[in-house]
Amino acid sequence: MATNKKVFTLRLSDEVFDKIGVLATREHRSVTNYIEFVLLKHLKEIEDEQGVIKADGSSKEV
């Protein structure tokens, strides 16, 4: 299945990677999918508090 998602590398210590792996397993997700899930959840929380984040770096108060 083709997607238009960008890919990037994270530099994580083995300990942090292993902890993320444990949490991902608890949620029945892959590590990659879990990291994406957590980041999207965090973005939503920030936007709920501070307004929509635009790609140009500005915010719009809600």
Q: Which two tokens stand for residue 38?
A: 């957590």
Task: Show me where the domains of the chain are located.
Answer: 14-49
Instruction: Provide the pLDDT for residue 13.
Output: 97
Q: How many residues does the chain have?
A: 62
CB 34 within 8 A of CB 24: yes
Q: Please tell me the distance from the alpha carbon of residue 8 to that of residue 54, in angstroms, as a whole number.
A: 20
How many other CB atoms are there within 10 angstroms of residue 54's CB atom?
Answer: 9
- pLDDT tens, residue by residue, 19-61: 999 999 999 999 999 999 999 999 999 999 999 998 886 666 6
Q: Please tell me the distance from the alpha carbon of residue 24 to that of residue 37, in angstroms, as a whole number.
A: 10
Q: At residue 15, what are phi and psi to the nearest 5 degrees?
A: -65, -45
